[in-house]
Structure 1
Amino acid sequence: MTQMLRFALGLTALLVWLTGAAVAQEPALPDFNEWETVASTAEEAIDVTDTTEAMLEVQRARLVEYRTEFDAARNLNAARINALREQLAALGTPPEGEGAEPESPEVAANREELNRQLNTLLTPVQRAEAAYLRADALIGQIDVALRERQTEQLMEVVPTPLNPMHWQTAINDLAVAAGGIAAEAPDEAETARRSIRSSLPAVLALTVLGLVLIFRGHHWSTAIVGRLQRFGARGFGIWRFVVSLLRIILPTVGMVLLVMGILTTGLLGPRGSALLQLLPVIGGAMLGVRWVAERVFSRDEDEALILLPRPERKAVRFYVSIITVTVLFGALLDAIFDGVQPAETTEAVLRLPLLLISAFALFRIGRILHGHSDPTPDEAPDSEEPRVSTLSRVVRGLGLGAMIVAIVSPLLLISGYYNAAVSLLPPYVITLVLLGLVMTLQRFLADVYGAMTGQGVQARDALMPVFFGLILLLLSLPFMALAWGARVTDLTELWALFSRGFAFGETRVRPTDFLSFAVIFAIGYGATRLIQGALRSNVLPKTRMDIGGQNAIVSGIGYVGIFLAALLAITGAGIDLSALAYVAGALSVGIGFGLQNVVSNFVSGIILLIERPISEGDWIEVGGQMGYVRDISVRSTRIETFDRTDVIVPNADLISGTVTNYTRGNTVGRLIVPVGVAYGTDTKRIESILEEIARSQPIVLTNPPPAVLFLNFGADALEFEVRCYLRDVNWMMKVKNDINHAIAARFKKEGIEIPFAQRDLWLRNPEAFRPEAAENPQADGSNEKPEPLK
């Protein structure tokens, strides 16, 4: 339990540090004389071996304050220093060597004055740089010393708690500590009775209300969830999550009220009151752990985050309750021995049964988790090997780790490694709880996302919940580090390193630079999309520009806007890309050869958007593919064929190749329908009938009028063609279908024959098919091959 209290204290300190770090301070020049005293004191504390950890932490905190000041002082007068350097660079290099023309007195005096000003400004900056490096080195030495001491404590060996000789000592120490708490109670009975009588109504009210909330709070929250489910409340998953928090809040409030009622009596001393005030904190933590287990291993299979068989989920919840009870007793032991120095083996002896019970429960949980497997779909074939999901692998790994920790921790405690044992099992339990909390919050955010987007439960399988889970996991890493014994100063040091950024050439890139880049680019990107939407919906439709031209303008503004947004984001973030000039120059040749097709397509895409030989919605034919242009990007163009398939055509093919555009400029197009009639038919009559049929089509233009041509005297028929212009060529096949139906019906009515091909078949030697010829090829005396027909 000491580890859990240390974790809670470390968490509180981390939150306080983060709150304080959010307050910006103006950089000022530090007091270097005072800094010398602080640095010397820290060096002496590091050299002395008997310096306590508390003293080292105090020295480290002071060093961190000075390092922050020195870090800010390194940037003092940065703008003025850069301006002076630019002025010196503008003066050029002073002449050197024999025979060189001397510099004019005015330029020399100006150079000397600029150098003097520059040195004056650089002196405090250089001192701050040196002091910063010294403070950073001292902080590193203190961290190393603290880690070494922490390692020594883990390896410290105490007598084994299995020795019965230590049991009586542990019991005596426990009795003495508990007796000391009881002895702090007020001795004057009359005063105590008078205090109880005066506060009896408040005590009874607080006690009754606290007991009601403790024993009925869980039932009330369950009833609320059931009522919401019966009425089919919208966003049931969200409301179920919110209402389930009442299982923690109501009993915790009840414990607080009960403790307040007991404290009101004034019967307890300082240590007893402190012990009693600890109960709501421990109880709330236990309820929180139980709540996480209820969410992860829910009774409802649809809500269970780790889907196990119902008996196994029930068993996990039971073992979690056992661990929480052992945590309660461990916390009580820590509170009882607070301020008391028991024997060396007392804590190990008293914690041995608690650790064994926790280890047994953790081992059972690990065994259940290690046997987790993904549910097999009903439609999956038997021959197919089942795939193991990432969640299943993680759960199995955590289960295996739980079994190992459950075995190793008691062995360490029995062997005398008390600190190592209590630094292994509780942190692992806290890690499992934090991971369960991450899964619970991820499911809640997925339900919120589903309610906002209208996807409902299907949003749980979307990509955004994975992103939410990744963020939650990253946020939980500091708390896991605290659980495993990391100090708050370790986390703050990592944050300081992260905040200082990394050097990129002569430029230091910080996380704030990336944040500025993201914010500026997001604003520019949003403004670009807003302008595009306004043009597409309000401005361009009111012009006489065709749809293709409107799309070209909107796309062009999008590319220009994104480019300007990226340029402004880089400039606003202060990122200097000049260091990349040499690298870009060295790679330009290779990139030019490797990406020449991509560049060609990119340039072709720009030409398509500007010149617009084709537009979105055009019916084109290119490379044997025919269809409608659906999208023109900077690299390729997407064509939707009449088979409803998409063909991706590189833009270079559209610029350099032959493209047939059926609807460029207008949708008027010509339709040709061939037809043949039998020989002997009146050709003038056929011409009149075909013209009448063509003119009857509503989509056929009357100017120019339809034309019927008598083309050929074919081998089998008299060949005609109906040629007409359609108002919309996109309906070509429909009009051709209607004309063919009309021709067939009219010819049938008029008795006009549409001939089919007729051929005469001549056999070279028909006598070969006679039966007697097949049996005796020489019967007819024809041994020679027949001559071919001429």
Structure 2
Amino acid sequence: MIWSRRPAALAAAFLLLLALGVGLHPSHAQTPQPAATPATPAPAPAPAPAEPLPDVGTLRSDFEKLPEAAVGADAVRALQARYGALIVGANKVIAARTGQLKDLNARLGELGPAPAAGASEDPDITRQRQTLTRERNGVDADIRLARLVVVDAQQRSDDLRNRQRDLFEAQLTGRAPSPLGSVFWQQLADAWPDDQARLWPLIDELRMALQRMGQPGHIGPVLLALALAVLAMTVGDLAAEHGMARLAQRLLPRGRLRRSLLVIAIVTVNLVVVALAMRGLLHTLRAHAAFGPLSSKLVALADDSVLFIAFVTGLGRALLANRRPSWRLPRIPDALALRLNPYPWLFALVGVLVWIPTQISEIVGASLAAVHLVQTVTALALALLILGALLRLNGPHAAAQTPAAEGDAAPAETARPLWVGLAMGSVALALVGVIVLTVAGYMTIGSLLAAQLAWTGLVGVTFYVLFKFADDLCMAVVASRSDFGQRLQRGFGFAPATLDQAAVVLSALARLVLFFYMVIALLAPLGTRPDEVLEQTGRIGSGLKIGEFQLVPAAIFSALAVLVGGFVALRVFQRWLRERYLPTTTMEPGMQSSLATLLNYVGVVLVVAAGLSALGIGVNRIAWIASALSVGIGFGLQAIVQNFISGLILLAERPVKVGDWVVLGTTEGDIKRINVRATEIQLGDRSTVIVPNSEFITKTVRNMTLSNAEGRVLIRLPMPLATDAPKVREIMLAACAAHPKVLPTPAPSLSLEGVETGMLVFQAICYVDGPRTAGGVRSDLLFAMLDAFRQAGVEMAAPPTVVMPPLPPAPV
């Protein structure tokens, strides 16, 4: 009762593995199903001039000729497809006529309104207005009729879907006699003669086809095609897999990406080889055998069953990797992988064995008792298969030491996560429910639940591979350790932490997109066909309205692309500005840094604005958000906004700049960076003080290097009154002139300040190239002057001596 949907590739929607995996899920043939929810196609763009535009009258007549109801899932699906074609044609008419209507309205607007009664007008203008009015009314009538066709066709399609859903729910909850009772088997025996009579036409067609293939002119090509197909699906498949493994080992670097990519490559090559072999075999069979209408359906569906076997076995063999344990993608022990080795084959064979009676009962139109028997066999077979897999997973050494996979760290003792136990418990409860429902007579629900469990497992394993591949690809391409990541570091100057963060974000986005498709594949009953996945994608992709904001997935990706491209371009511009253009100008380094920072802020604002515009948030919405945030700014964000505006003032007016030596209160040091909110000042002990920008605007700041970058060295020395003052003057000026860091212009000077406490006070002043070197030069000059005084015999002033009188003796 399952395994009947034809696999197909999803062009430009999935990777090849995902496309084939999604399309391979089978469905119940006899169980009535609700028709796939048709998505209303978006209005198509105006067709090319060479493409004929559908006629509205023809569309309406075709719609009235279509029936309002159909019998059977295939007939309902075909009728819904015809309604969908009518909707697409009507939307083409609406799109084309809407553009014509706008042009006609614009031309009428250029002519102006009709004159009032009794007023005169040029006859040519009157005729033009009348002609344009008639054309506009005709175009407007076509648009209205086309919209009516869209509404009516959509309503009928919805009615068909609702009827199918009601019929599905009615038969789904219907109860049949229990297979444990005699009534079930008695009904099957009563219906057997009729079922046998329905089988004979199919058997006769197959017998005639075999007889024709056995004739001398046909037996040779058929046997040759069969031998080639078997050879390709056995020896050719294994050789292709071995070749892919060797090719991956030679071309791809060691790491996780090679493992996940090898799994996808093995499954893809397996499917391609089997698909080509089956295409050739079926083409030969159709050419040399006269299949009837019933046997043609059976032969056409045989291709799907073989592809399903190839997909399941290839995926299981690639994941378990018993021949290459170090390449195994899931971290499971070798013993568990060996125990699970036959299960991909068992799963595929059980699916095909269930598929055969399902398709035969659908083709010949078997009785309800036969359908119930097929449902019972399907439910019990799948339940026993899944139960066996659970027992193997719960077997001994299931949580043993995992092997060291390629690109991973050393093996470690791993324990089973909690969610794995919960999932296995839920599956076990579902299997119990399948068996109970089937035994109780609810075969339809039981078979549906069993098939959904099998489908969920297949989808989960497929998307596990895709999740791993997406994560490994992002980490191998964008992360800082990858070759491309190192090129990004060298070319654009990205920090390693930035690249690692970008790799994690891109991996999360890729997994989110895959999760979106996985949910679509799991939500549909009994599997999802590729066209249904695309319909669901188109419906959700048209947008989700949250309040007054339309959230469109395409707009989200566009905004992300704009942000990524904008910030990369901004980084390239910043690099060019700092390394190529600004060094060629006459601006000082501090001004260059301030200008680059200011332009960076402007670029960030422009990129964010472009991203919001791509997301669909216009200037009016941004203004509304700003007005809504004004209350918060007035209360909680006042200091942040004040510091931000102060930072912009510092960058524009430049009272201080990067490289200046400033004194702000008790803080004295060099400005290293001016950020949006605060400024970094490096002190003499190499520590950094973070000062809010508003401090430089509202308080007094002493800028030691604003207008003059020279530093002053001041030395005051007290000398005795008997000192030879000219000689002291000569020694001190000679020491200043001899120091290499003392500037000759302005020249050093010395003055006698006066007499203080019986001492002559000499003061020397000289200048150096910057205030940062003034302290070191002053120390060097003091050493040199003291040494020169000692050599010249000039006595220095001795510190005053204080003599304390003796203390009186303590009283007895």
Q: Distance in 2 between matches of 1:265 and 1:525?
A: 58
In structure 2, C-alpha distance between the alignment counterparts of 1:87 and 1:574, rounded to whole Å: 32
Q: CA shift at 1:330, angstroms?
A: 1.6
* 2:679 partner letter: T
Q: 1:37 to 1:702 in 2, by over 3 A?
A: same
Match of 1:186 in 2: 210
CA distance in 1, matches of 2:548, 2:249: 63
1:214-293 pair list within 5 angstroms:
214-215=237-238, 234=253, 236-243=255-262, 245=264, 247-248=266-267, 277-278=303-304, 280-290=306-316, 293=319
The match for 1:428 is 456
Structure with the larger RCO, 1 or 2 (CA within 8 Å, 6+ apart): 2
- Secondary structure in 2 matching 1:664: coil
Match of 1:52 in 2: 72
Amino acid at match of 1:452: F
Contact 1:42/1:138 (8 A) holds in 2: no
- Structure 2 vs 1, CA of residues 687 and 372 (structure 1 numbering), >3 Å: closer, same or farther? farther
Q: Does the C-alpha gap of structure 1 residues 693 and 371 become closer, same or farther in structure 2, counting only changes over 3 Å?
A: farther
Residue 334 (structure 1) shift:
0.8
User: Secondary structure at 1:356's aligned position in 2?
Assistant: helix
Deviations 1:236-290 (A, max 9, x none): 5444554555544565566568768988997999669668745651343124432
Q: Give the structure 2 partner of residue 453 of structure 1.
A: 485
Distance (whole Å) between structure 2 residues aligned to residue 13 and residue 529 of structure 1 = 32
1:617 and 2:659 correspond: yes
Residue in structure 2 matched with residue 212 of structure 1 by the alignment: 235
Q: Is the 8 A contact 1:501 1:510 kept in 2?
A: yes
Tell me the secondary structure at the aligned position of residue 186 of structure 1: helix
For residues 469-497 of structure 1, the C-alpha deviation after alignment (integer angstroms, 9 at most, x for no partner) is 43234234334423443566765554444
| 1:650 equivalent in alignment to 2:692 | yes
Structure 1 residue corresponding to 2:712, chosen from 670, 692, 697:
670
Of 491, 503, 508, which residue of structure 2 is paired with 1:464? Answer: 503
Q: TM-score, normalised by structure 1?
A: 0.71
Matches of 1:616 and 1:62 in 2, distance apart? 72
Q: Aligned-pair distance for 1:453?
A: 0.5
SS in 1 for 2:744: coil
Does structure 1 residue 730 correspond to structure 2 residue 759? no
* Shift of residue 441, structure 1, vs aligned partner: 0.9
Contact 2:56 2:90 survives alignment (8 Å): no
Report how far residue 703 of structure 1 moved.
1.5
Query: Which residue type is aligned with residue 451 of structure 1?
Result: D
Say whether 1:64 aligns with 2:81: no
User: Offset at 1:539?
Assistant: 3.4
SS in 2 for 1:338: helix
- Partners of 1:81 and 1:510 in 2: how far apart? 32
How many residues matched? 728
Deviation at 1:166, TM superposition (A): 7.5
The answer to whether the 8 A contact 1:366-1:398 is kept is: no
User: 1:669 offset after TM fit, Å?
Assistant: 1.5
The residue that corresponds to 2:409 in the other structure is: none
Corresponding residue of 1:315: 336
Q: Distance between the aligned counterparts of 2:120 and 2:628, measured in 1?
A: 42
Distance of 2:741 and 2:666 partners within structure 1 = 28
User: After superposition, where does 1:107-186 map in structure 2 within 5 Å?
Assistant: 124-125=142-143, 132-160=150-178, 183=207, 186=210
Give the partner amino acid of 2:450: V
- The two structures have a TM-score, normalised by structure 2, of 0.69
| Alignment CA distance shift 1:359-1:83 (3 Å) | farther
Measure the CA separation in 2 of the matches of 1:369 and 1:401: 22
8 A contact 1:166–1:346 mirrored in 2: no
What is the match of residue 2 of structure 2? 2
Deviates more, 1:207-216 or 1:647-656: 207-216
**Aligned residue number for residue 547 of structure 1:** 589
Q: Which amino acid counterpart does residue 658 of structure 1 have in structure 2?
A: T
Q: Is the 8 A contact 2:232 2:273 kept in 1?
A: yes
In 1: Cα distance, 2:9 partner to 2:167 partner: 18
Shift in Å, 1:617 = 2.7
Q: Could you tell me how far apart the structure 2 residues matched to 1:189 and 1:124 are? A: 57
Match of 1:474 among 483, 500, 513: 513
Q: CA deviation at 1:567?
A: 6.5
* Alpha-carbon distance in structure 2 between the residues aligned to 1:719 and 1:298: 91
Residues 587-628 of structure 1: per-residue CA shift (max 9 Å, x gap): 756655665444444443333233222222323333543443
Alignment map for 1:584-595 (pairs within 5 Å): 591=633, 595=637
Q: CA deviation at 1:371?
A: 7.7
Report the Cα distance in structure 2 between the residues aligned to 1:495 and 1:535, rounded to whole angstroms: 44
**In structure 2, the residue corresponding to 1:424 is in which secondary structure?**
helix
Would the aligned equivalents of 1:669 and 1:725 in 2 still touch at CA under 8 Å?
A: yes
Gaps of 5+ in 2: 14-18, 24-37, 404-413, 489-495
Rounded Cα–Cα distance in structure 2 between residues aligned with 1:538 and 1:413: 77
Whole-Å separation in 1 of the counterparts to 2:508 and 2:400: 21
**Contact 1:528/1:557 (8 A) holds in 2:** no
Q: Deviations over 1:342-385 (max 9, x none)?
A: 4521442365244313223146548999989999xxxxxxxxxx
> Aligned AA for 1:448?
V
Identity of aligned residues (%): 22
Q: Tell me how far apart the structure 2 counterparts of residues 297 and 625 of structure 1 sit (CA, whole Å).
A: 69
Could you tell me whether the CA contact under 8 Å between 1:296 and 1:305 is conserved in 2? no
What is the one-letter code of the residue matched to 2:312?
M
Q: Using the TM superposition, give the Cα deviation of residue 331 of structure 1 relative to its aligned residue in structure 2, in angstroms.
A: 1.9
Per-residue deviation, 1:697: 2.8
- Greater shift, 53-62 or 216-225, is seen at 216-225
Give the AA of the match of 1:155: T
User: 2:631, 2:498 → 1: CA distance?
Assistant: 47
Instruction: Name the aligned partner's letter for residue 483 of structure 2.
Output: A
Q: Secondary structure at the match of 1:360?
A: helix
Q: 1:545 to 1:261 in 2, by over 3 A?
A: closer
The 3-state SS of whatever aligns with 2:359 is coil
Counterpart CA distance in 1 for 2:609 and 2:504 is 32
For residue 429 of structure 1, report the CA deviation from its aligned partner.
0.3
Does the C-alpha gap of structure 1 residues 32 and 586 become closer, same or farther in structure 2, counting only changes over 3 Å?
Answer: same
Contact between 1:447 and 1:460, CA under 8 Å: does it hold in 2?
A: no
Cα 1:265/1:557, change in 2 over 3 Å:
closer
Q: Using the alignment, how far apart are the partners of 1:589 and 1:354 within structure 2?
A: 62
Give the structure 2 partner of residue 344 of structure 1: 372
Partner of 1:772: none
- The range that moved more, 658-667 or 241-250, is 241-250
Distance 2:392 2:250 in 1: 35
Matched residue, 1:419: 447
Which blocks of at least 5 consecutive residues in structure 1 are unaligned?
95-101, 376-387, 769-778, 781-790
> Aligned partners of 2:145, 2:224: CA distance in 1, in Å?
69
Matched, 1:328 2:349: yes
Contact 2:662–2:703 (8 Å) recurs in 1? yes
The 2-side partners of 1:439 and 1:84 are apart by: 56
